[in-house]
Chains A and B, each alone.
Chain A
């Protein structure tokens, strides 16, 4: 995990220079020139889009980050969007483990050590869990992103999602590099 961070380090530097451009859809910048977390933020958004909650009556969808937030401002951009008529709110929980009011929980690489406890705290609740650490899907994360050949990919843990009462769209599953049942 460290290694991958190291590998991404030069890009993160470049990303800082280009933060202002990220929300402009018409920007003619090439995909692989986009900063990794901008892409990952978009993935998060799409994950939400292809996921069905058993009860989605509340007007706001809460995205919580656990641990050190690697997105920076990229994730804040989502807060300006809506999805299926629901507003998006970002809550950075840091070290807090009170996740009951979250709809989506992103577990940052820095909080991976604490993953079993985090999962335990939200067990049985319809909360979509997202991470971008190696083998996170095996450990119970529903959607785990990775970077492969300059592309962002993801694996899905359908069993975990089903246990939580969430339905992942088949289209989403079709794009996953690996789906564990």
Chain B
């Protein structure tokens, strides 16, 4: 399709096209009419002339007076269009003839029998009976040239043509002027549309018109623009503000950062971005409910507002717009933009003040609630070259504050980004690790002190990273928990451990395998099913599997954890409580856990020799375990002395480097075949050592 043409041109074109037929019709009618009228008149005239002449010549003919007839014929020279004329006697004889001087010599035609006219292209002939009073005496016939008529018609045609030409020109000129005048309101309306469309100027309004349709169009357009304007404003409000706290949202804040950054570029001053995240807000939501969580968020927003209100702020003195200097980015993330600061130190001071403000207890439903937050600070242009990076780096710094123990402020450093990059890289490779079969299991045996036999092995996962080599679980399990890979990895561990166990059992080894569960796995609703399926696939009795959990893994959702563990235990699976003694849970709380084995944390074992308190704790743990009817395993036993003391304390199972580090599954049959010596029974020195320690304590 060709480019659209203007309405004015289109109207002019339509008019031109529509005008021509009329012009042609007028021309044809004028010329044709003129010719017809001319011809009609000529015929009338000719007929009258013929009659008059016939009458005049009748007597001359009756008396055969040729001279008189000739005189009568001569009167025809008054009519210039008559070229020739003849008088015929009744017998057809030519009685008289007339020839105009300019006309050609012509032979007399045969006389017509009938009166009347005969039309030819260039002339007409008129016949008229000549009658004397008594009788018919002959015929008069004349030839009348049409050249005059044609000339006259041509003249009329030329005149009409000229007149029409002039009329058309005047008409076109007038029409153009009228069309332009008529289209002016439409042009104006189009301009307004352009203004609205291309410049997004919603303030533009179309003016009214005296033309009804255009007036309606203008009014309708205005009404439409007003509604769009209103809707835009409403959407802007929705789009730029967080409903809960009334603070600007992420979108508004990003725009604000961009504005401030460009202001800084001009003023040469600094801009700090404080990225705040509440510590453990999920727990508040989970334990107090989302409504209360929302209320806490609103209170925090209010507290931030108060803290940042310029009148209350001693330093920095630089004023800034309160409302969009803060924002809630979503969830429990708040940001504060501090413009026009002198130094990085200013920003840290403000962050600390905010943190202190948040640390004040909140009162919710009459209860006091302590909330801490972690704040990351990044400063433009020190830490970032643009708005997007400033936010990203403040986020990174906040994350670092979390990792370094929460409830703190962290200033962005470039290394943070490197760590973040590494994490990202790790994250990516972890996601493909299962598919690439980069995981493997190693097993550390647990030795029964009484018999020196391997009773159980703890499965420990290893990640054989293609670039970084072997990676310990502590370095990737937290990441797997974050990115959700933990569920898949957990299932793989279960299956692999079961498969190995099946293999060993085939060799006649009656072992138990212990598998670690991460906190996320315990929260996983499919856990029980997964475990039962793994056992069923391997065809193992349930009591050959031991699941190790930490107390930290159950505190997040205690009731659910209890339910899950109870279910598992009811199917015969043993539950071990790992790292016992390091958590912050109360004993009453721990007592509720359905547990078969308690694993004493390595931190107590490592200090057994020099620390009497550790020994007492281990003793107490064993008493506690016995009260629960649970077994005890000592972890991280590395020295002979530790082993001796534990044996003395009556610890039934030992795990640690003293006996064996974690080994590949192929080596387990060999280890299991050994009968491990029980040192205290054979070594007096050891006994003495233990006694000595007991006395020293």
- Taking beta carbons and an 8 Å cutoff, which residues of A are in contact with B? 25-28, 30-31, 39, 43, 45-46, 48-50, 81, 83-84, 151-152, 154, 169, 171-172, 174-175
With a CB–CB cut-off of 8 A, which chain A residues contact B135?
Answer: 49, 81
Check B134 against A83 for contact (C-beta < 8 Å). Answer: yes
CB-CB under 8 A for A46 and B91, given A152-B64, A171-B58, A172-B59: no
Interface string of B59-95 (1 = CB under 8 A from A): 1101111001000000000000000000000111100
What's the A-B contact tally at a CB cutoff of 8 Å?
51
* Given A83-B134, A152-B64, A175-B65, A50 and B90 contact (CB-CB distance below 8 Å): no
**A26-B92, A27-B91, A28-B91 known; A171 and B59 CB under 8 Å?**
yes
Q: Does the CB pair A25–B59 fall under 8 Å? A: no
Please name all residues of chain A whose beta carbon is closer than 8 Å to the beta carbon of B134 when the two chains form the complex.
45-46, 48-49, 81, 83-84
- Do A46 and B132 have beta carbons less than 8 Å apart? yes
Measured between beta carbons, the chain A residues less than 8 angstroms from B91 are: 25-28
Chain A residues within an 8 Å CB radius of B62: 46, 49-50
CB distance from B153 to the nearest CB of A (A): 39
Contact of B133 among A26, A27, A84, A175 (CB under 8 A): A84
What are 12 contact pairs spanning A and B, CB under 8 A?
Answer: A27-B91, A28-B91, A28-B92, A28-B93, A31-B64, A81-B134, A83-B133, A84-B133, A151-B64, A171-B58, A171-B59, A175-B68
The contact size tier of chain B is: 10 to 19
Q: How far is the CA of A38 from the CA of B65 in the complex (A)?
A: 16
Contacts of A84 in B (CB 8 A): 133-134
**C-beta contact mask, B130-153 vs A, less than 8 Å → 1, else 0?**
001111000000000000000000
Residues of A within 8 A of B68 (CB): 174-175
Given known contacts A46-B134, A49-B133, A50-B133, A175 and B63 CB-to-CB distance under 8 angstroms: yes
Of A84, A151, A175, the most chain B CB neighbours within 10 A belong to: A175
In the bound complex, CA of A50 to CA of B133 (Å): 7
Cα(A175)–Cα(B58), bound, Å: 11
- Is there an interface contact between B58 and A39, defined as CB atoms closer than 8 Å? no
Q: Which B5-35 residues sit within 8 Å CB-CB of chain A?
A: none
Which A residues are in CB contact (< 8 Å) with B63?
43, 46, 152, 154, 175
Closest 9 CB pairs of A and B: A171-B59, A49-B134, A49-B133, A46-B62, A26-B91, A83-B134, A25-B90, A175-B65, A175-B63
A31 contact set on B, CB distance < 8 A: 64
Please measure, in the bound complex, the distance between the C-alpha atom of A28 and the C-alpha atom of B89, giving whole angstroms. Answer: 10
For B132, the chain A residues whose CB sits under 8 A away are: 46, 49-50
Of listed A45, A83, A171, A172, residue having the most chain B CB within 10 A: A171
The complex places the Cα of A31 from the Cα of B64 at a distance, in Å, of 9
**Shortest Cβ distance from B489 into chain A, in angstroms?**
140
Docked pose: A31 CA to B93 CA in angstroms: 10
Q: Do A169 and B64 contact each other (CB < 8 Å), given the known contacts A26-B90, A49-B132, A49-B133? A: no
Bound-state CA distance A151–B92 (Å) is 20
Nearest residue in A to B71 (C-beta to C-beta)?
A174
Chain A residues with CB under 8 A of B58: 171
- B92:A174 contact, CB within 8 angstroms: no
Among B60, B91, B93, B134, max chain A CB count under 10 A is at B134
Residue among A30, A46, A49, A84 facing the most chain B CB atoms (10 A cut-off): A46
Interface string of B91-104 (1 = CB under 8 A from A): 11100000000000
A39 near B59 with CB under 8 A, answer no
Q: How far is the CA of A50 from the CA of B60 in the complex (A)?
A: 12
Chain A residues with CB under 8 A of B92: 26, 28
A27, chain B: closest CB distance, angstroms: 6
Q: Which residues in B have their C-beta under 8 angstroms from that of A25?
A: 90-91
Query: Which residues from chain B contact A152 at a C-beta distance below 8 Å?
Result: 63-64
CB nearest to B132 among chain A residues: A49
- With beta carbons under 8 angstroms apart, the residue of A26, A30, A39, A175 that contacts B60 is A175
Task: Write the nearest CB–CB distance from B65 to chain A, whole angstroms.
Answer: 5
How many whole Å from A172's CB to the nearest CB in chain B?
6
* Extra pairs beyond A43-B63, A49-B132, A151-B64 (6, CB < 8 Å): A48-B134, A49-B134, A83-B133, A84-B133, A169-B59, A175-B68
Q: How far is the CB of A26 from chain B (nearest CB, A)?
A: 5
Return B58 CB to nearest CB of chain A, in Å.
Answer: 7
**Given A26-B91, A26-B92, are A50 and B59 neighbors across the interface (CB < 8 Å)?**
yes
If the complex has contacts A83-B134, A151-B64, A152-B64, are A175 and B90 also in contact, measured as CB distance less than 8 A?
Answer: no
A43 to B65, CA, bound (A): 11
Report the nearest A residue to B64, measured CB to CB.
Answer: A31
CB-CB < 8 A to A30: which residues of B?
A: 93
Q: Which residues of A contact B60 (CB under 8 A)?
A: 175
Residues of B within 8 A of A83 (CB): 133-134
CB-CB under 8 A from A172, the residues of chain B are 59
A residues less than 8 Å from B59 (CB atoms): 46, 50, 169, 171-172, 174-175
Smallest CB–CB gap between A54 and chain B, Å? 17
Could you tell me the distance in whole angstroms from the C-beta of B573 to the nearest C-beta in chain A?
152
**What distance in Å separates the Cβ of A124 from its nearest Cβ neighbour in chain B?**
26
Closest to A82 in B: B134
Could you tell me if A39 and B64 are in contact, using CB atoms closer than 8 angstroms? yes
**With A and B bound together, what is the CA distance between A171 and B134 in angstroms?**
14
Specify the chain B residue showing the minimal Cβ separation from A52: B133
A169–B133 Cα distance when bound, in Å, is 10
Cα distance A97–B63 when bound, in Å? Answer: 30
Q: Nearest-CB distance from B284 to chain A (Å)?
A: 143
B133: A residues at CB distance < 8 A:
49-50, 83-84, 169
CB distance from A160 to the nearest CB of B (A): 20
Q: Shortest Cβ distance from B132 into chain A, in angstroms?
A: 6
Shortest A103–chain B CB gap in Å is 14
Give the distance in Å from the alpha carbon of A46 to the alpha carbon of B64 in the complex: 11
Proximity string of chain B (519-550) to chain A, C-beta cutoff 8 Å, 1 when within and 0 when not: 00000000000000000000000000000000
Binary per-residue interface labels of chain B (412-442) against chain A in the complex, 1 for a CB within 8 Å, 0 otherwise:
0000000000000000000000000000000
